[in-house]
Structure 1
Amino acid sequence: MDRIVVKRSGPLSGQIPIAGAKNTCLKLMCASLLSDEPLTLTNVPRLSDVATLSELLESLGVQIGRLDEGRTLALSATDLTSHLAHYDIVRKLRASFNVLGPLIGRTGEAIVSLPGGCAIGARAVDFHLEGLKAMGAKVDLKDGYVYASGDLKGAEVEFPFPSVGATENVMCAAVRARGTTVIKNAAREPDTKALADCLIAMGADIEGAGTEQIVVRGVDRLHGATHRVITDRIELGTYMVAPGIAGGEVECLGGTRDLLAAFCDKMEAAGLEITQTDAGLKVRHPGGRLKAVDVTTAPFPGFPTDLQAQFMAMMCFAEGTSTLEETIFENRFMHAPELIRMGANIDVQGNTARVTGVDHLRAAPVMATDLRASVSLILAGMAAEGETIVNRVYHLDRGYEHLVRKLRGVGANVERLSE
């Protein structure tokens, strides 16, 4: 099994190109099921998650052409051969569950395994299912599968919490439903708006994406389109943290502040300098120790839960004590014990972690527990004394394209080893 070896690095200097957004790309791929004409996606990140979802879509009858070394995908769902999303594939990738809305929207029937993915909490799919039921779907759970069927009709769907996945599943189903669907307390993430923009390019009638209320007027069919995947804001934020830990100055190509406004505010409060350039976002460490900053994760436009682990790694070196509150997922502090193994001073109580900065960390063998935890340990290792060995790094391949190459490109001492 591969592992990543990290030695003390810095100061960093240079540019890092930011890939297309993983979460956006996966949902756009699912949207291809809604039309019998091809959907072509550009700026596709080359990740194992994309490969996994491709495998699932091909099992449903979608033909996928890969161009430009995989950076462009042409997906044709002209003749669907199945409406069964099997457990063997869905268990590997939670986003696979988002074939549910497109399948029932187009064919009136779907059988989809309950999802898997990173072990960061239950993340129940109740909101997805209740939304479809409100639109007239008959939904049953049996043997770990969701059986959904029915002729969907427009309805009012209000979520108790602005779930990204549920918003996107219901929106995709509503595109082909009869009548108008109003989604209240909808997710406002850039990924959700990007999905709506793609659906509109395919002929959907959608208003309000990116706000708390989305109005979808059903249409008889969607046509093909070509759509570019937006910049990955989580990859962007991850590499912005790198100079915050190792020092120096890094320009993240393709980044814009609007993707991460709340995150940028906290980075600046810690003492980092962030500048919007013509090419992206530049992050500069002014020298000395950063300041401790409190963070509470929240749905967009709040502080992203997917950047909490990386920010915690940076706070391990800050002056003072920071409090990080996780409000989105339970079990999202699994990186904390590994950072403690490296000498971090972290106290976790329920959904809150108190991090008191230390002068330095010490290298140690650590275990990656999920995608974002994996990269937080690599970042921490860049300012630790000695050689940090990060095991179980297959998580990284799910969400970071050429991570080692990109970090080495700005001066980080990082190496991937295969047994």
Structure 2
Amino acid sequence: MSTYLVEGGFPLKGSVAVHGAKNSVLPILAAALLAPGECVIHNCPDLSDVEASLAILRHLGCSARREGTSVIVDASAPTRWDVPDRLMREMRSSVIFLGAVLGRMGRASLCAPGGCELGPRPIDLHLAAIRALGGTITEESGGMLCQGALHGADIVLSLPSVGATENAMLAAVCAKGTTTITNAAREPEIVDLQNFLLTLGARVRGAGSSVITIEGGAPLHGGSYTVMADRIVACTYLAAAAAAGGEVEVTGVDWRTLSTVTAVLTEAGCAVRSQPGVISLRRDKPLKGVRPIRTAPYPGFPTDAQAPVMAALCRGSGCTVFVENMFESRYRHVDELIRMGADIRVEGRVAVVYGVPRLHGAQVRSSDLRGGAALVVAALGAEGESRIEDLHHIDRGYQCLEGDLAALGARIRRVAEDRKT
């Protein structure tokens, strides 16, 4: 097991490049299964979720290897159409392989993603999209078998689900005829997936809008593609600078994808400057509360940014209300922030943050990916030393977080610990 030791109270200064986006590369890796050839994916972050995706591809009979910041996938001759329980449990978003496996192999056998029970669940929209395309789904013993010849269809999503949009796109690329996805998610990562599919020879248009059209059945081939920068990692570094003070610039990210976050940080008292490929933030005075922050589908305030921004706003003056509209259990970091001296009241989907003059170091535990990042942000602005445990959550979405922050002047180090029972 690994732990972060963070000594707070040291301003951050410098420039940091943002690695490739986790939420882009995972569906792109699934899409690589569709191409009967070699795909070279550049700017591919070294994350545990990426390794889990590569393990799934290898199990399916593909060649997958890493060379520096690039990953090479050869899906010339996949041999399997099942993803076993042990691999599905490795990452929550493993269901993204459903559309790709079904589209390429004609059938797919997967267990419930993340070990969740089937029944009322977040993947209902995924399954509805597959059924609309002509797939039949049999559910039994915690798993599902999908099969059938796919055909173009009009898919109307009841919610603009990112995962359901991606799965529908991947399956529709292999379907005969034209598919239209209405009320599609508009996130930049959807655009990135479309651009990768275009590189492979697919005919897809409309990503970034609420209507995506796919002309299925186009012959696909391998190709080379560079993944977009991770806007949530960029947000985390900006929130860290807001919490600790100092001046930081993040490079490689499109500032337009983070405009709702930078607007909040500006309102809180930070000086933010955006230009193509660069966002810089300076914080040299205490933060203050801002108007209510409501998470929403893109282009609204991203739910993944909620926890790191909340951590930064724990210190300072005034009050900030957060309304979490995307997920029910997205405040698991709050109790840990309270251990550090934060004053936060939660009622259902609403969290009220009352700014305090200071936070203090504490021993805390990461319970999820973005919540773990929030604890690091809070620790950088706290007095004394914090111990942050269960880093495997953070490793799912951040490549060497401690290295990037240390390069900015943070006092943070990772230590390995043996836990004895």
Q: Same fold (TM over 0.5)?
A: yes
> What CA deviation, in whole Å up to 9, does each residue of 1:326-358 have, x standing for no partner?
111111100000111111110000011000000
Deviates more, 1:3-12 or 1:297-306: 3-12
Contact 1:15 1:250 in 2 (8 A): yes
Equivalent residue for 1:335?
A: 333
CA contact (8 A) 1:9 1:411 kept: no
311, 317, 320: which one pairs with 1:313? 311
Task: Find out whether 1:109 has 2:107 as its counterpart.
Answer: yes
Aligned partner of residue 104 in structure 1, secondary structure: helix
Instruction: Name segments (4+ residues, structure 1) moved above 6 Å.
Output: none
Equivalent residue for 1:170? 168
Map of 2:15 onto structure 1: 15
Q: Does 1:91 align with 2:65?
A: no
Aligned to 2:188: 190
**TM-score normalised according to structure 2 size:** 0.96
Matches within 5 A, 1:73-88: 73-88=71-86
Shift of 1:394: 1.4
In structure 2, which of residues 138, 141, 150 is the aligned counterpart of residue 140 of structure 1? 138
Alignment pair present for 1:152 and 2:150: yes
In 2: Cα distance, 1:77 partner to 1:142 partner: 29
Question: What is the rounded CA distance, in whole Å, between the counterparts of 2:142 and 2:114 in structure 1?
Answer: 11
Which residue is equivalent to 2:40? 40
Distance 1:312 1:88 in 2: 34
Aligned to 2:268: 270
C-alpha contact (below 8 Å) 2:9/2:383 kept by paired residues = no
Aligned-pair CA distance for 1:290: 3.0
Please give the alpha-carbon distance, in whole angstroms, between the structure 1 residues aligned to 2:381 and 2:115: 30
Paired residues of 1:181 and 1:216 also in contact (CA < 8 A):
yes
- CA displacement at 1:291 relative to structure 2: 3.3
Q: Does the aligned pair in 1 maintain the 2:59–2:80 contact within 8 Å? A: yes
Taking the aligned partners of 1:296 and 1:375, their CA distance within structure 2 comes to 20
Q: Equivalent residues in 2 for 1:219-238 (5 A)?
A: 219-238=217-236
Distance 1:123 1:46, change over 3 A: farther
1:103 aligned counterpart, secondary structure: helix
Query: Which residue does the alignment assign to 2:343?
Result: 345
Q: Report the CA distance between 1:302 and its aligned residue.
A: 0.7
The residue type equivalent to 1:23 in the other structure is N
Distance 1:117 1:247 in 2: 41
Deviations 1:225-281 (A, max 9, x none): 100000000101000111110001001011221121111111111121111246511
Tell me, in whole angstroms, the C-alpha distance in 1 between the residues paired with 2:152 and 2:300. 30
After superposition, the Cα gap between the structure-2 partners of 1:123 and 1:345, relative to the gap in structure 1 and judged at 3 Å, is: farther
Q: Deviations over 1:116-175 (max 9, x none)?
A: 189xxx861000000110111111111111211011111111111100000000011001
Aligned partners of 1:304, 1:316: CA distance in 2, in Å?
19
What does residue 5 of structure 1 align with? 5
* % identity of equivalent residues: 38
1:374 matches 2:368: no
The more displaced of 91-100 and 228-237 is 91-100
Q: Does 1:395 align with 2:393?
A: yes
Partners in 1 of 2:319 and 2:296 — Cα distance? 21
**Inter-partner Cα distance in structure 2 for 1:401 and 1:203:** 31
Mapped contact 2:292–2:322 kept (Cα < 8 A):
yes
What's the Cα RMSD here? 1.4
Q: State the SS of the aligned residue for 1:400.
A: coil
Superposed CA deviations along residues 203-232 of structure 1, whole A, max 9, x for unmatched, are: 111111110000111124211110000000
* Aligned-partner SS, 1:385: coil
Distance apart, 1:108 and its partner CA = 1.3
Q: Return 5+ residue gaps in structure 2 as ranges.
A: none
One-letter code aligned to 1:31: A
Matched residue of 1:206: which SS? strand
CA distance, structure 2, for counterparts of residue 396 and residue 37 of structure 1: 33
Measure, in 2, the Cα distance between the counterparts of 1:40 and 1:23. 18
Of 208, 212, 216, which aligns to 2:206? 208
Aligned equivalent of 1:383, options 375, 381, 387 = 381
Spell out, residue by residue over 1:80-128, the C-alpha distance to the aligned partner (whole angstroms, 9 max, x if none): 111001110111212221111011112210011211189xxx8610000
- 1:407 maps to 405
- CA-CA distance at 1:322 after TM superposition: 0.6
Partners of 2:288 and 2:318 within 8 A in 1: no
Distance 1:51 1:210 in 2: 28
Counterpart Cα distance in 2 of 1:170 and 1:164: 10
Shift of residue 52, structure 1, vs aligned partner: 1.1
Q: In structure 1, what residue type is equivalent to 2:29?
A: M
SS state at 1:375 partner: helix
Deviation, 1:39, is 1.2
Deviation at 1:10, TM superposition (A): 2.4
Displacement after TM superposition at 1:292 (Å): 3.3
How far apart, in 2, do the equivalents of 1:250 and 1:289 lie? 16
Identify unmatched segments of 5+ residues in structure 1: none
Query: Does structure 2 conserve the Cα–Cα contact (< 8 Å) formed by 1:176 and 1:221?
Result: no
8 A contact 1:320–1:357 mirrored in 2: yes
